[in-house]
Amino acid sequence: MFNLDGAGRANKPGVMVQGWSDAIPFFKKLSVDMSQPMPLGVGFSLYSDHMPFALRGIHTASLRGGSGFTSWRGTRGWGHTMADTEDKVDIRDMREAAANLSRILIKLATVEELPFKRKSRDEIRAMLQKYDNDEVMKILRSYPSWLK
């Protein structure tokens, strides 16, 4: 599952996989095969559109911009605010992101077998603990009942 709300926000579009690093080798090889350098990273956010998928063990990723994901400047930025308007998007960056994503999705749709599998409940729990999200979710009473 790809979360695309970061597309077109900065140069050098890359992929940030959510939670599990076992998808990184696939994207590294794809970057080489495409002759398209892509910054790659692993992280996890409780507050993103992909969260319900990740909590069911489905690999998720964000199409992200910025060189090595350093575009964050310590403030919330424009995203998901009233100021999040199309004039903030660089059309050249959006085109490059769309081209890269199209190639990534074609590869994912046509690969013989995906090199990463759906995660078990134990693996999901471990991922939540790794990123210190399990306690936050329990405090917020948003910890999924199927993981208890």
Specify if 79 maps to a domain: yes
Q: Quick one: pLDDT at residue 28? A: 94
Specify if 138 maps to a domain: no
Specify if 105 maps to a domain: yes
Q: Distance (Å, rounded) from C-alpha 85 to C-alpha 79?
A: 9
Specify if 94 maps to a domain: yes
Q: Quick one: pLDDT at residue 91? A: 81
Specify if 133 maps to a domain: no
Specify if 132 maps to a domain: no
The structural domain count of the chain equals: 1
Angle at 38 between CA 115 and CA 21, to 5 degrees: 40
Q: Quick one: pLDDT at residue 115? A: 84
Q: Which residues, in sequence order, are CB contacts of 16 under 8 Å at separation 6+?
A: 6, 40, 41, 42, 43, 61, 62, 64, 69
Task: Per residue of the chain (148 residues), give pLDDT as tens.
Answer: 888 876 766 666 788 898 889 999 999 999 999 998 888 989 888 878 888 999 999 999 988 765 444 444 455 566 677 887 888 777 888 888 888 889 999 999 999 988 889 999 999 999 999 988 888 888 888 888 888 8
Q: Quick one: pLDDT at residue 67? A: 45
Domain range for 19 is: 2-119
